Chains A and B, each alone.
Chain A
Amino acid sequence: MPRPQPVEGAKVTTMTAAQATPLLRASSGELPDRIFKYVMTTCGLAVLGVLGLIVYELVLRSGPSWHTSGFKFFAGSDWDPVNEHFGALPFIYGTLVSSLLALIIAVPLAVGVAVFTTEMCPQSLRGPLSFFVELLAAIPSVIYGLWAIFILVPLLSQYVQPFLASTLGWTGLFEGPPYGFGMLAAGIVLAIMIVPIISSITREVLMVVPQHQREGVLALGATRWEMIRVGVLRNARAGIVGGIILGLGRALGETMAVTMVIGNRPEIAKSLFASGYTMASVLANEFSEATGDVYLSALIEIGLALFLVTIVVNAMARLLVWSVTRGQPARGLA
């Protein structure tokens, strides 16, 4: 605000009410409007400011680690805080593998749910069904973790993992003792968590596919599935990919549920039964106990890397979704 407030206030109080009224009325069209615009613009710019602040703090605080390790930080697989050797490769590996595993499980499920709710199910079932699927997104991460520790992990170690080891053990992906905790459990929990994200974006994208596309394909004698495949899914491809990438972004940064089930050991193993560690979970476990500037700054550097990756992934996803739904208020069609 360019003008100092007290001066104006003092002026008004020295005038009689009759004198003051026209002055107030004249100014109300200009000064208050300008002040209002400044205040709202400040709020808008604060959003930019927050992003700037995140970048500034992360870059500033990760400086010491960057100076000690340089690029070796991302290539080394040795994480030894006691001797101040910091290599982030096991965490990067764990984050990538658990997220990809989650995508492999979640994408067919999410697209299936979206197709069912938009194209197949009766109108009356649509609302409740999407409500229930989105309810999955409302469950806090820590509750997923709690459920996974006490229900999913025992289930995996008793039934699923022995079965996988005996049938698909030859691939080398399902070897080792079936403890339950590990990469597989993390991937499954992540998959449950990102299904609602992917399916709600896919649903929005499917709903903006013009109705005459469907009618046209049906008129050519296609069955419903052929209509969905040719007329709907093919048109919505870019948007669905956007939704998938958005889900990937969420999986990469997901912390609590993964930390609770992945086993938390910084090693790189081929088997999905083995323990792993992700970038987010090492932050969750070690940040508040980190002693020494280099250790703390190494953790913040992991945070910076995680931030940059999710920014790129999210920006990509948003652009893809926008390219499909642009100009259409997708929500209004619900």
Chain B
Amino acid sequence: MPEIAANSPHAVAQIDWRRRILDRVMTGVAVLTVLVVLAPLVAIFSYLVYKGVGSINWAFLTQIPKPVGEAGGGMANAIVGSVLILGIASVIGIPFGVGAGIYLAEFGRNRQGSIIRFTADVLNGVPSIVIGIVAYAIVVLRQKHFSALAGGVALAIMMVPTICRTTEEMLLLVPQALREAAYGLGVPYWRTTLSITLRTATSGVITGIMLAFARVAGETAPLLFTSLGNEYWNLRVDQPTAAIPLEIFKYAISPYDEWHRQAWAAALVLIVLIVSSVAAVRYVVRRGTFGAA
């Protein structure tokens, strides 16, 4: 009789046993997913170090690329080019991003604010290559040639939404009492916002800026047809400029072993730059005013 069997203590124990096994199995599956996800991370970093360290030398950091077939040469022009493009992007992107964040936190508690907030989130998801097309249309077509400026504009557009949203979040964490205390002393609103609110949230705002910076520092797609790349030194804003990610792409898909070696070296330089800024971000957040944030 099935009913009796189901009610017997033996059957209950059996179901319990199955449930406990399933529980263990699912825990095992979860651990397995973590290992599978972390495997590529370990693989990528170990290969970067393994292949990259041997290829980085003084020449790599100080010389410009040699013609195909000649050994040696380096990427000094691309490193400088990256700094130039990222500098332009920061000069344009940071003020606009922080400004938009201040607007959202201080004046944006309304319909217009929600629309801008939503737009920033959506803008964050626009593919970087599409941003590249827009920078091409705005800058390159008007200037009639590829330039560092066009690359900088593309990256600046990508920085704004991230900086804007983190700035807003950080400003909202500042206690209202601080603002009220400032008004109570007769400090005008703009002074309160800049010297009290923004000042208090500085470490968080810088975190946002650095995250945005780290994100665009490795971007390649928007630079392909804006700053284009350059074999030689260039410090002029209106000329084609080399960048580390562009060089990695060009060298990786080339058929030459020497170039592959340099691609790994460049990738290591790039990742060290990015990871150290992400680590610095975490350090700043821990030590900053808003450790809990």
Contact = CB atoms under 8 A, between A and B. Distances in A.
Given A132-B41, A331-B169, A36 B127 contact: no
B209 to A, nearest CB: 14
Contacts of A234: none
B127 to A, nearest CB: 3
Q: Interface extent on A, as a size class?
A: 35 or more
Nearest to A115: B30
A17 interface: no
A284 B129 contact: yes
A253 B107 contact: no
Interface stretch (B54-62, B66-74, B266-274): B266-274
A41 B99 CA distance: 8
B292 A283 contact: no
A61 B129 contact: no
A40 B127 CA distance: 27
Given A47-B120, A135-B275, A36 B129 contact: no
A165 interface: no
A142 B220 contact: yes
Interface in B126-148: 126-134, 136-138, 146
Contacts of A50: 123, 157, 160
B43 A47 contact: no
Q: Looking at chain A's contact residues, is the secondary structure mostly helix, strand, loop, or mixed?
A: helix
Interface in A128-172: 129, 131-133, 135-136, 138-147, 149-151
Given A29-B188, A44-B103, A54 B131 contact: yes
B253 A149 contact: yes
A57 interface: yes
A246 B123 CA distance: 13
A6 B18 CA distance: 83
Interface in A162-202: 192, 195, 199
A313 to B, nearest CB: 8
Q: Interface extent on B, as a size class?
A: 35 or more
Most buried by B among A48, A143, A288: A143
B130 A54 contact: yes
A93 B83 CA distance: 38
Q: Looking at chain B's contact residues, is the secondary structure mostly helix, strand, loop, or mixed?
A: helix
Interface string A57-80: 110110000000000000000000
A329 B106 CA distance: 18
A109 interface: yes
B14 interface: no
B133 A58 contact: yes
A259 to B, nearest CB: 8
Nearest to A303: B133
Contact of B19 (A53, A136, A139, A226): A226
Contact of B33 (A113, A146, A280): A113
B88 interface: no
B228 interface: yes
A37 interface: yes
Interface string B1-35: 00000000000000000011011001101111110
A313 B127 CA distance: 12
Contacts of B125: 246, 249-250, 253, 310-311, 313-314, 317
Contact of A144 (B44, B164, B191): B44
Given A45-B116, A143-B270, A36 B263 contact: no
A284 B260 CA distance: 20
Given A147-B43, A314-B125, A225 B23 contact: yes
Contacts of A41: 103, 107
Contact of A47 (B100, B136, B190, B218): B100
Nearest to B290: A332
A204 interface: no
Interface string B81-96: 0000000000000011
B122 interface: yes
Contacts of B193: 36
Contacts of B131: 54
Contacts of B134: 53-54, 57-58
A270 interface: no
B47 A147 contact: yes
Contacts of B30: 112-113, 115-116, 120
Given A57-B137, A225-B23, A315-B122, A46 B220 contact: no
Given A151-B43, A253-B130, 9 more contacts: A44-B108, A54-B130, A113-B37, A129-B34, A147-B48, A226-B19, A228-B26, A310-B127, A331-B169
- In the A-B complex, the 5 residue pairs with the smallest Cβ-Cβ separation, listed nearest first, are A140-B218, A253-B127, A43-B99, A112-B33, A36-B190
Interface of A: 28-29, 32-33, 35-37, 39-48, 50-51, 53-54, 57-58, 60-61, 108-113, 115-117, 120, 129, 131-133, 135-136, 138-147, 149-151, 192, 195, 199, 223-226, 228, 246, 249-250, 252-256, 260, 280, 283-284, 287-288, 300, 303, 306-307, 310-311, 313-315, 317-318, 329, 331-332
